[in-house]
Structure 1
Amino acid sequence: MGTHGVPANYGGFETAAENVAIFLRDHGWRVVVYCQERGRGPLRTDTWNGIERVLIPIDREGWLATSEFDARSIRHAIRHRDVCLTFGYNTAVFNIVQRVLRIPNVINMDGIEWSRARWGKLRQAILWTNEKIAGVVGDHLIADHPTIETYLAKRVNRRKLSTITYGAHPITQAPDEPVLALGLAPGKYLTLICRPIPENSILELVQGFSAERRGYELAILGTYTPETDPYHRAVVDAAGPEVRFLGSVYDPEQVASLRFHSAGYLHGHTVGGTNPSLVEAMAAGNAIVAHDNEYNRWVADGGALYFRSAADAADRIGDLLTNPTVRWRLGEASRARHRSEFTWERVAGQYMELLGRFQPAGTTTPDMVSNGPAEENAP
């Protein structure tokens, strides 16, 4: 629960939900995933790749939509009387229901979401409150990074905490046609893929890249609206002639090709835990230039050069692009780090082991086909 559902086409939580669900399915579990869709009316059920889906139509936007979806998901899920896996604590107040009914609920706590300045004071207060509630009502809490676990340990009993990261499938080959179709030359560009907000250091990276002619292009993915967003305007104004704004690219195969054929990846995230985009870059064997903080250093380790300012970024980008040996070394270190910590087999296996601890006594994992999908009005 807590994601937009499967198949994943929204973000990191959805990708995690899909891969964990598939892994559990392959190991004999009956898996039910709650999926949010636009519209009105009663929920409906179907199957996707052997996974039960409960599709809940929501005719709202933003936080109101999330709240209604989570409430309806919980109301349906408690009828299973089985272990729940909830991604995110934004509406943890609703999870009091599972606690009261003694239905085990494992909660992935994401990053320190309430600390993000982009939410504003009111939403920060709501998120902070729900984080506290999740720490009380959750049977076990998942942190996606050791630093997040350390933070949570100051608020809850450490025995109810585990660190389980995000995963990515290794990219060992990819067609170059999607890259050529975008007007890029394989091996002659860097990628920058993230939400265009200040905490992701996009301005500093664009300024650093544009400080001199590189002989490479910088391919930036994401939706930029300089006409209405001052930060977007600053980024666009700072961009030199070798910077390309490609807009949003959602097709996974196209993104995989862009990563695989790039000379390196720029990662400016300053907050949060394990970032899925960074893990995916490592899975593609990218040499990385990353913002210097404890989150990125633990994830990328020896696969990155680190910066703190636009001037630092300019130097590190120069080191990356002018030295093929450095690029090769960083790329090999990225792949090795991915293999050791961030494969979906490892990550989903950790989820399965943890969820197994909370299976109610005497329960089994019946075959979905013989039992059929659960209806909203089932007893």
Structure 2
Amino acid sequence: MKTNIPLDQKKTPSPKIHILGTRGVPAKHGGFETFAEKLSLYLANKGWDVSVYCQEDAHGKISEDEWNGVRRVHVPVLRPGAAGTVIFDWKSTCHALSEDGIFLTLGYNTAIFNVLQRIKGQTNIINMDGIEWRRDKWGAIAKTWFWLNERAGCWIGNHLVADHPQIKAHLATRVKENKITMIPYGGDEITEADASLLIPYGIEAGKYSVIIARPEPENSFLEMVRAFSRSPRNHKLVVLGNFAPESNLFHREVMDAASAEVVFPGAIYESAVVQALRFYSRFYLHGHRVGGTNPSLVEAMGAGCAVIAHDNHFNRWVAGPDAAYFKDESACTALFDRLLEDDQTVVRMKEASRARFYERFTWDQILREYEALLTQWYPTK
């Protein structure tokens, strides 16, 4: 016998979201993975049915498991590097065609694949990341690929997310401005850290400054290291990054330019160590010249770092007017000469970083904005 259930007692199915474009969760690699982890856990806790596509260095078939209430779709890929990423994106997109709900693609590097979702009628929000084709490290073929995929992402995505007002302005030259929502990255607030984690690196709290970035020319490594090394500082500069001077000419040039007060500990992935390096530094140096809201800069502000950054409209919007800025090596040298002895200004800079962080970059703000956007665009059929 069929029982009629009152409408107000029928259970509404959970909204479904599928996150593509990152290596997966939990985060192990960078800003997009950290964001995917934060957003997936947040939405799962809010009652969403969340799936995240995860790249696996393996062979075999696509498999699934659950992690903290999040469905993980494991996509095996044996090819390393950029080729492996392209294969992963292709396999993920093809698998997603059989799913329903809403889709969030992080990055546009293989946006041409998303045309399959548009043909299928799926709703796909694309976070357009930075202006990848402008980066110095890419050759002509790679730049052309990224330029074409940026265009494809603008046209194919149902809606776009820009992580910075200048990225939104750039995308608005391709599509109508009302197709773009600006939501930056978030960061964790760090109010304490374990100072003993500094000991293996031979540094003391407040007596060093730090650079945390990929060692690429566009990130101003050479200018910052040369500026610091021009004279004795009675201070150390800790330069994190995966340096390979034997095979990379630029890496060798940076290391050759360094004074004895510059420390190269390599790449460090333990979050507690990285947090301690930020928290106890005198300055966090940020040399990025291309991109939108950089996750590492936001994390430094969340740790209350005094910021010295390359002077461009991307960094100025994020770090605010009270950070210190340099245009070239000479200007960076002048900042070291002045600020390494100016404790009062450093205190003001640290306070300003925290104030700007609370104003715009807490995870609570960012994740609420994403949920509101996803809810607005959630398919009704």
Query: TM-score normalised to the size of structure 2?
Result: 0.93
1:181 Cα offset (Å): 2.4
Which ranges in structure 2 are unaligned for 5 or more consecutive residues? 1-19
CA distance in 2, matches of 1:250, 1:279: 17
1:63 Cα offset (Å): 2.5
1:318 Cα offset (Å): 2.5
Correspondence 1:305 to 2:311: no
State the SS of the aligned residue for 1:119.
Answer: coil
Q: Which amino acid aligns with 1:340?
A: E
Structure 1 runs of 4+ aligned residues shifted over 3 Å read: none
Q: How many residues align?
A: 362
Say whether the 8 Å CA contact 2:136–2:217 is kept in structure 1: no
CA distance in 1, matches of 2:339, 2:242: 27
CA distance in 1, matches of 2:40, 2:362: 15
Q: Could you tell me which residue of structure 1 aligns to residue 231 of structure 2?
A: 212
Correspondence 1:239 to 2:266: no
Q: Which amino acid aligns with 2:55?
A: Q
Q: Could you tell me which residue of structure 2 aligns to residue 222 of structure 1?
A: 241
Q: Could you tell me which residue of structure 2 aligns to residue 249 of structure 1?
A: 268
Q: Which amino acid aligns with 2:324?
A: L
Correspondence 1:61 to 2:80: yes
Q: Could you tell me which residue of structure 1 aligns to residue 151 of structure 2?
A: 132
Q: Which amino acid aligns with 2:243?
A: Y
Q: Could you tell me which residue of structure 1 aligns to residue 15 of structure 2?
A: none
Q: Could you tell me which residue of structure 1 aligns to residue 353 of structure 2?
A: 334
1:49 Cα offset (Å): 1.5
CA distance in 1, matches of 2:249, 2:58: 33
State the SS of the aligned residue for 1:36.
Answer: strand
State the SS of the aligned residue for 1:171.
Answer: coil
Correspondence 1:175 to 2:198: no
State the SS of the aligned residue for 2:325.
Answer: strand
Correspondence 1:120 to 2:139: yes
| Cα distance change, pair 25–276 in 1 and its aligned pair in 2 (3 A) | same
State the SS of the aligned residue for 2:252.
Answer: helix
Q: Could you tell me which residue of structure 1 aligns to residue 285 of structure 2?
A: 266
Q: Could you tell me which residue of structure 2 aligns to residue 44 of structure 1?
A: 63
CA distance in 2, matches of 1:181, 1:196: 22
1:62 Cα offset (Å): 2.2
1:150 Cα offset (Å): 0.2
Q: Could you tell me which residue of structure 2 aligns to residue 106 of structure 1?
A: 125
Q: Any idea what the Cα deviations from partners look like across 1:265-305, whole Å, max 9, x if unmatched?
A: 01100011111111111010000110000000000013410
Say whether the 8 Å CA contact 1:227–1:233 is kept in structure 2: yes
State the SS of the aligned residue for 1:56.
Answer: strand
Counterpart of 2:100 (choices 68, 81, 85) is 81
Correspondence 1:27 to 2:40: no
CA RMSD of aligned residues (A): 1.0
Correspondence 1:346 to 2:365: yes
Q: Which amino acid aligns with 1:174?
A: A
CA distance in 2, matches of 1:18, 1:217: 34
CA distance in 2, matches of 1:176, 1:159: 47
Q: Which amino acid aligns with 2:367?
A: A
% same residue: 47
Correspondence 1:283 to 2:302: yes
Q: Which amino acid aligns with 1:178?
A: L
Q: Any idea what the Cα deviations from partners look like across 1:74-107, whole Å, max 9, x if unmatched?
A: 1222222210000011111110011111110000
Say whether the 8 Å CA contact 1:285–1:331 is kept in structure 2: yes
Relative to structure 2, which stretch is displaced further, 340-349 or 311-320?
311-320
State the SS of the aligned residue for 2:320.
Answer: helix
Q: Which amino acid aligns with 2:133?
A: W
Which ranges in structure 1 are unaligned for 5 or more consecutive residues? 363-379
Q: Could you tell me which residue of structure 1 aligns to residue 12 of structure 2?
A: none
State the SS of the aligned residue for 1:32.
Answer: strand
Say whether the 8 Å CA contact 1:302–1:330 is kept in structure 2: no
More RCO (CA 8 Å, sep 6+): 1
Q: Could you tell me which residue of structure 2 aligns to residue 151 of structure 1?
A: 170
Q: Which amino acid aligns with 2:118?
A: R
CA distance in 2, matches of 1:346, 1:216: 37
1:177 Cα offset (Å): 1.4
CA distance in 2, matches of 1:64, 1:232: 24
CA distance in 1, matches of 2:174, 2:162: 13
CA distance in 1, matches of 2:379, 2:313: 38
1:134 Cα offset (Å): 0.8
CA distance in 1, matches of 2:336, 2:286: 11
